[in-house]
Amino acid sequence: MNPSASLSRLLALLFFLWASPALAAPEVDLHDLTWFVHVDLIDAGVGRDLAFWTNVIEESVEGGNRLLAGRNGPVDNVCCTKMTHSVAVTTFGNAGDGLDVIDSMADQTALADDWSVPGSSAFLVDSLTYCNGSSPSAIGCARRPSCTSNGDDDPDLWMYVTVESYEDGTLPSVIAHERGHNACLQHVSTPKCALMQGTVFTPGLGGCLTTTECAHMRDARTETSSGEFCNCHDDAGSPLADGAKCDDAGGICSGGCCGPMTGDAGVHLLAAADPGDAGLAPEDMLRISGYTGDWTDLGPITGAADDVRALAYSTDGDLVYGIVPTVGDDRVITIDPDTGLQLATVGFIANGTDEFVSLAYDPGATSATTDDRLIGLEVTTGDTGELRWIDPASPNTAHLLGSLGWAQASAFSSLAFDPTLDKLLFATPFGPNGLWELDMGSCPPSCSPSQFPGTGPFWTGASMTWSAESGMAYVIGTSFAAPGTRTFYNVVDPATGATSETLSLDRFTPAGLASVPEPGPGLGLLVGAGLLGGLCRARGAQRRRSSPIR
């Protein structure tokens, strides 16, 4: 391990852990909702009793709060506002009364007039086909008052959301979106990560808000003095730097949210990417918050207009390795993990028109760099692939691990290595689950990855990495045809393939991806693990779909 780099990053870590924020945290604007579940949704025989639905609502509200309070990229604004419920979730309606499916003005009026309570009411129903008019595919509906900016909740606001959105994995976004309507917000078409888009895409829950939208959300509060504070926002409403201490339970800031340092908040990602909509060459380095996907552009990686296709972080050497593919050879470079700038060219791999499209890091059995290796996927003529390993101490030779048993090798452009499970992970556009794994003991002469079971997200042009701090894999990729291309972010459990809530980020085109400890190495050793409460937590798996929300 690089002693001087490790020492400087450890000092930065200690500063972040013990320094208090320079500016006081603002008080949370609280939205206290009274929640109801239709009686026909209660089915204890299949495990869906009231306690089950209460848990679903609470986790989804927490997920919606993370979309509101966190940041999904430069276009998004952190918003110190939070939804909650102080009254226990209860049932409404009568068995067989038909109000579990809202399909007429009479049904909508019954919820608004007969079952609502003073203030803001939220109803969970099975499905809906009516929202101030015919809406056969809608998954949420809400009353939208005029903008009063009165700093308090307008009376008799209501929303209803559907079990359909829960089963699609979009319920957190739908709840936050419908509360946006309660706060007088209208549908928008841009940016692509906007919370108030009229269609919610699965995968991809967008949480982006403008400053005006945030102001209206905060004006729609129900509590004028909540007694809670957004500890990762300064008193001007801006997010504190990632890695800043945010509570005494060991929390640090990441993308405007306070998270446990032994989880995703303890990781930041570096991505070789094009930071925009054009889908140009991956010449810049982006720094990405592991908890919310917030990103900033650190600028060009090298002094020339080089494409950097693959990245991997060496935990033993505290360096990021990258590969720049060129005709005749592939150039191996080292990159500063703090600045994202190239440090040196350390090797040339003479492979002609073949090129490395992904890279992963294997730390070996010890903490010394002598048994480290870089594992890369090299795409050859005819779109076949070979897995190779590179010794960082002599990076001019790529040794064959085995051929990839898949004809379209370029689709496996993402690569991560989990040394605790001794397996490689891939993210691809091939379904039903875009996650694949490879037992390293199965190579050579050929290496045949297999799919994780079940359904899940898929990605095109994906980038993937694994973090020793959290034990999780991270995937960033794009999907949908241009001009509607979106950038998606997921956290993946390598043991099960279970994916987090899929976040739709402010747009960029990713290539290589590396995970770096936030804010320094040894993060998990200083403070014990423990889940934090607060504004920004829950995540859930998703399926691909688009549905209108009203």
Report how far residue 213's alpha carbon sits from residue 185's, in angstroms, rounded to the nearest whole number: 7
Report how far residue 98's alpha carbon sits from residue 105's, in angstroms, rounded to the nearest whole number: 13
Residue 364's contacts (CB-CB under 8 Å, 6 or more residues apart) are 316, 370, 371, 372, 373
Tokens of 380: 């050859």
How far CA 431 is from CA of 79, 201, 386, in Å, comes to 36, 17, 22
**Residue 10: enclosing H or E segment and its boundaries?**
helix 3-18
**Residue 62: enclosing H or E segment and its boundaries?**
helix 50-69
Q: Domain-by-domain residue ranges, the chain?
A: 27-226, 266-526
Angle at 523 between CA 518 and CA 529, to 5 degrees: 115
First-residue to last-residue Cα distance in the chain: 54
CA atoms within 13 A on the CB side of 114: 10
- Amino acid 547: pLDDT: 54
What CATH superfamily classification does 27-226 receive? Collagenase (Catalytic Domain) (3.40.390.10)
- Amino acid 10: pLDDT: 41
Name the CA dihedral angle for 306, 310, 316, 319, rounded to a multiple of 10 degrees: 20
Tokens of 509: 């085109």
Give residue for tokens 């102001």.
215
- Amino acid 527: pLDDT: 30
Report how far residue 293's alpha carbon sits from residue 287's, in angstroms, rounded to the nearest whole number: 9
Report how far residue 349's alpha carbon sits from residue 158's, in angstroms, rounded to the nearest whole number: 63
> pLDDT tens digits, residue range 120-145?
999 999 999 999 999 988 999 999 99
Residue 36's CB is within 10 A of a number of other CB atoms, namely 23
- Amino acid 278: pLDDT: 67
- Amino acid 201: pLDDT: 64
Report how far residue 493's alpha carbon sits from residue 485's, in angstroms, rounded to the nearest whole number: 26
Amino acid at 333: I
- Amino acid 12: pLDDT: 45
Calculate helix-pair angle for 171-182, 211-219, nearest 10 degrees: 80
Q: Is 72 helix (H, G, I), strand (E, B) or coil?
A: coil
Residue 129's contacts (CB-CB under 8 Å, 6 or more residues apart) are 101, 102, 103, 135, 136, 138
DSSP state at residue 100: T
Residue 396's CB is within 10 A of a number of other CB atoms, namely 13
Q: Pick out the chain residues at pLDDT < 50.
A: 1-22, 520-535, 537-546
Burial 409-436 (b: 16+ CB within 10 A, else e): bbbbbbbbbbbeeebbbbbbbbeebbbb
Angle at 512 between CA 511 and CA 514, to 5 degrees: 145
What CATH superfamily classification does 266-526 receive? Apyrase (2.120.10.100)
Q: Is 274 helix (H, G, I), strand (E, B) or coil?
A: strand
Residue 284's contacts (CB-CB under 8 Å, 6 or more residues apart) are 272, 273, 274, 275, 297, 298, 299, 300, 301
